[in-house]
Chains A and B, each alone.
Chain A
Amino acid sequence: MKLNRDRITALLMLLPSLILLGIFVYGFIGQTAYTSLTDWGRDPAQALALHPEIRFTGFETYKELFTGLIDVRFRQDLVNTFFFTLFFIAGCLGLGLGLAILLDQNIVGEGIFRTIFLFPMALSFIVTGTVWRWLLQPRGGINVLPTLVGLEPLEFRWLTSRRQILQFNWQDLPFFTGLLIAIILLWFMVTAIRKSKWRRVGVAGFSFLLVTVWTFTGARQVELLPYPEIHGFNLAFMGIILAAVWQMSGYTMALYLAGLRGVSEGLREAARVDGASEWQVYRLVILPLVQPITLSAMIILGHISLKIFDLIFAMAGADNATTDVPALLMYLTTFRANQFAKGAAIAMVLLIMVAAVIIPYLWSSLRSEVKQ
């Protein structure tokens, strides 16, 4: 790489934004990471002092978050985020794809429908949250809809239910994680067998066996907490998921529609000539072709759901633990309880989760760009 005039100009042009990014993004990430390793805020007298005494305590705060008695709320929040992400992405992808396929049938007034479906995305989460908060009131909106046709009103507590389903013991987490990894490895093995890549079959099969054995022996021995702790899916999240899917499914539809339009008419015709039914055309020809879109949509929706804050703040308030997520807890811990180190640690956990979604995606898309 030679330094010619062009490169120098380019470097000078980029320098201001590199410096600003370096300080205001990466510098502050670094500062948050450092804060999370200290005890800032543990002693209320030091929390807001002019020159607080801050000690370096290593991973103590993280350990507390994952094992502490009062931090049960943080662990439930992680569980909440997991289920919210799962149902939110599934809802958006399902509804988005369904709408896109319907619009793909060359119906009359497609433009109008497209705009209507896409419109919720133009709203901010605060507006969506406020509107849906009203719609989901215990004695109004959705719950009184059945009375229009003479039925009894619904009794469901969309945002305030205290019921929890899909309960599990936090102690069993290693077991379930092991099970999940084993299933993924098994799937790798099966696809490798189909493609007759025998070396890959061997590696996947061996790892599968290893993980399975560990899951049913070792994982049962791991003690995450000294006592059983029950977590599960809070039904109060149903309302939040409903509103979030309403907002983002139109966007997913737009992504899919672009993908569907990219599939050439020739391919469809060819499949039909080969005797494929319309269902088979979609299942065997079109859906495999729009798979990259599914991945992009999952990444985009995934990082939205991991960071979600404003929607829940507007719908249920910050204080309802049944609809709590780590981002809200971070706000409460930092600005109400003055526990800056703990807030920073929650922020870092969030960052790691979002990075786990984003970085592989960026990496693979950068790599494919270089190839091109």
Chain B
Amino acid sequence: MKRQNLKEILTFYFLLAITILGINGCTIQYVAEYDESIKNEIIRISAEIDKFYGILLETAEAARTYINFKDEYLTIEVDLRTLLTRNKIRPLNEESVKQTEIVLDLWLNDKEQHKTNDSVSDFIIKQHRNQFQRIFIAMAIGEEVKEE
């Protein structure tokens, strides 16, 4: 077999191998697959927390006792833990997992502060409402950019 023929045959098989890999969808993946239901859940919990602070703000300061809001704290905590579990079971999703852990940590901090002080000031409500809004926007953008 001539050297030129051998070179052409090797080139042909090299190109064929790359084509087969390409056709079979052999793509590189650094981030988790986009999940629309997760994005919707982020927006839903964000609205739930926003409503919680809205009600808290509308309540007279003397009536903002922890016991009056205990159930809402628990409901939202469960929602956040569920979101954390859903994020944890997705491969290549470390950043979203960390973000959800931060939200949960802040929520538990809020709950403890409310329990200790048995009230919350207008300033803290507005500040925390804004903090959660910022993180949920970041999380929603983070989910959206995973979409090809």
Q: Do A and B originate from a single complex?
A: no
B residues adjacent to A (C-beta < 8 A): none
A residues adjacent to B (C-beta < 8 A): none
